[in-house]
Amino acid sequence: MPLAIAITSPGSPETMKLVDLAITEPGPGQARIRQSISGVNFVDIYIRSGLYPRPPGQTVLGFEGAGVVEAIGSGVEGLSVGDRVAYVGHPLGSYAEVRTLPASRLVRLPDDVSERLAGSTMLRGLTAHMLLHKVHPLQPGEWVLVHAAAGGVGQIVARWAKRLGANVIATVGSEAKAEFAYEAGADAVLLHTSEDWVEETRRIADRRGVHLAVDGIGGAMLSQTLATVRPFGMVASLGQAGGPIPPIQIEELTAPRAIGLARPSVLTYANDPDLYRQGAEALMAELQAGLINPIGAEYALKDAARAHADLEAGRTTASVVLTM
């Protein structure tokens, strides 16, 4: 029987168990795929730990993967057995060798985009598209601040922003991670542990601040991030790897700052059929044109708990994946 990683209650990585998975025949509008890769993302950690609620009845983790179609249900158009596909979004279930899911969720891969690349990029890539085209439509010459720029989301946001002609200021947690941010195209890399990183960010960005700041750290970092943005700029708060975010008073955003604060969700973005199609098409085009999304850590499916522990502890860089 195919294998999967499941949880039945929230907790530490040790709550993740390798289980046998029954093969189900696809129903109307569904397809079954044999997976080769699954992305591992912080949202998976949030669900495993209980920070985010687990959808009722869904026990297998993971929102992102790629593989080959091996069966299709009635009413499915535009897909054939043998097609290579990738996906991101609800329902949960990518930590599995085989899965059945809505065919509308599947994106056919161009010949020159591998399952490995697409399956490790869909969530982060759609996040970048959401940030740079929807949250703040980025213009050439604008300044972007990207926190945790050695990580999976940080790297692809920095790379895509540079392809759009932006200037990128990256922050990292250690000198050892700075080289990864520079490789992603950052124009300047700062340690967010230094006392003057906020002032230095504003100085570099024309002494006015950045147009867009992407904060996936959360915790006490967000209040500092607000101070890096110029008037009428935008802060996108993506997550809270650094801990819960203290309450933000609306007065903190008003004059003289006059900035915006967004809490965008890539899963909500992917749940909108039109946005999902637009984002997936744009991502595939960028991947074909040379957008890079390096894999920094790779684990066998059975080692998913170790992947979570390493990602949560900050021991990884770039994208993290499970291979089947």
- Do 204 and 169 meet the contact criterion of CB atoms below 8 Å apart? yes
In the prediction, which pLDDT does 242 show? 85
Q: For 117-175, how does the pLDDT look when each residue is reduced to its tens digit (9 = 90+)?
A: 999 999 999 999 999 999 999 999 999 999 999 999 999 999 999 999 999 999 999 99
| Rg (the chain; Cα; Å) | 20
CA–CA gap between residue 139 and residue 129 (Å, rounded): 13
Question: Using CA atoms in the order 203, 186, 283, 140, what is the torsion angle rounded to 10 degrees?
Answer: 40
Helices (H), the chain: 42-49, 115-119, 122-129, 152-163, 175-183, 197-204, 221-226, 266-271, 273-288, 304-312
Tell me which residue of 81, 73, 66 sits closest to 29, measured CA to CA: 73
In the prediction, which pLDDT does 261 show? 97
Cis check for the bond before 110: say yes or no (omega within 30 of 0).
Answer: no
- Do 94 and 38 meet the contact criterion of CB atoms below 8 Å apart? yes
- Set out the domains of the chain in order of their start, with CATH numbers: 3-123+267-323 (3.90.180.10), 136-263 (3.40.50.720)
The residue ranges of the chain whose pLDDT is under 50 are: none
The HSE-up count of residue 307 (CA atoms within 13 Å, CB side) is 29
Tell me which residue of 261, 187, 196, 186 sits closest to 223, measured CA to CA: 261
